[in-house]
Structure 1
Amino acid sequence: MNIKIIGIDLSGKSENPTGICFLEGRDLKFSTLFENNEILSWISKKNPTLVVIDAPLSLPKGRCCLSKDCSCSKKGGHFRAAEVEMRKYGRTLPLTFRGMRMLTERGIQLSKKLRNKYTILESHPRTIQKILGFSNLYEDLTNYFELSRDINEHELDAVLLVIAGIFYVQKEFMEFGNAEEGTIVLPKKSCDLKDILSFKTHP
């Protein structure tokens, strides 16, 4: 499988770490970055075909922003259809929570700069982990990938986003929401992970 996928576990604040994982063929490369320009430069050098981001990349219908003081707060809600539809698989926080508001604003800003060149997907690591049945994330992932012991939690979550991208490429994914408001992509629950990740790198 010769694909190039980047997973980005985006932080809400640029001073907090953003974990990035890049899959090319069978190899994973990792980085922890901070500023948007660092992230954009890193992505540009890798030139992926697909980027999967853990952050809301759109606003609820009827909203122009997520401020409670704006008149749009009376037209739009705290969730998009995508969050509501995927609740049977995993929980998500309201986009109007302070931390989520910051993450959403940053996710939208970053994705706008990427969409003209790459295919961009939104996904959710904790729900991916739940669907895949991983209890110990590091140990479970080493069944499929060679991982360094010093990999951090944000980079581990970025691996989950890469896995969601692989399921998407293999057309074995679930999609929630709609094109107008925004969608969230997750691995199809009924699929065998070993069949999808058929390039296991060690016995």
Structure 2
Amino acid sequence: MKIIGIDLAGKRDNPTGICVLNLRKAIRGNIDLCTLYSDEEILEKVNSVNPYLIVVDAPLSLPKGRCCLEKDCECSVGGHFRQSEREIRIYGSVLPLTFRGMKMLTMRGVGLARVLSDQYLLKETHPRTAQKILGFENLKKDLGNYFHFNIDPNEHELDATVAALTGFFYVNNCYLELGDANEGTIILPEGKKCLKMLIYED
């Protein structure tokens, strides 16, 4: 069983971090990291891995009642946030989906979700909040306590690793799910206790 974590960039010219976590081999170091750019590269990678679960750091749906995020559209009365963003505020602030950078990221995430959701189990997460819940202060160092990186990871690959790790906790029923299932939810680790599941064989 494989999980892919994706730290999606809003612009296709910017780096998207990818982490592949294989759950069948409980051996320290069993993650593969890479950086990709275009939607075609991402989809090719996903299809080559054929994962059980994909967890993405990007909004994968629009607020209820909205068909887009343009301010001059009639749907703009639908608001700037989904229920999941309102609920996640107990952990920290999040940007409205209608902010320029977030709008670009959201529409890219929604587009990829339309393609991927027909074939794969797809979930959304927020690595910064997951990191806070897990008590990670230095991602490279803290994740290095559990994984051996196949490359020297950049920040996007580290966020993708947090996304994949959140997927691991989801599969093992140690997660929170925020928001309205009909609108789009965000999954997070249930707490630091989830880390006890990361027991590896030498």
* TM-score, length basis structure 2: 0.94
Summarize deviations over 1:111-167 as a string: whole Å, max 9, x none.
111111110000001001100111111011111001256211100000000110011
Counterpart code for 2:51: P
Structure 1 counterpart of 2:199: 198
CA RMSD of aligned residues (A): 1.3
Secondary structure at the residue paired with 2:193? coil
Unaligned runs of 5+ residues in structure 1 are none
Unaligned runs of 5+ residues in structure 2 are none
Counterpart code for 1:177: G
Runs of 4+ in 1 over 3 A off after TM superposition: none
Contact persistence 2:8–2:17 (CA under 8 A): yes
Contact persistence 1:90–1:126 (CA under 8 A): no
Equivalent pairs, count? 197
Secondary structure at the residue paired with 2:35? strand
Q: Select which of 3, 6, 9 maps to 1:5.
A: 3
Counterpart code for 1:108: V
Higher relative contact order (CA 8 A, sep 6+): 2
Identity score, percent:
56
Alignment of 1:119-130 (within 5 A): 119-130=121-132
Contact persistence 1:90–1:130 (CA under 8 A): no
2:94 is the alignment partner of 1:92: yes
Structure 2 counterpart of 1:20: 18
Contact persistence 1:8–1:51 (CA under 8 A): yes
CA shift for structure 1 position 190: 5.5
| Structure-2 change in CA distance of 1:145 and 1:190 (3 Å) | closer
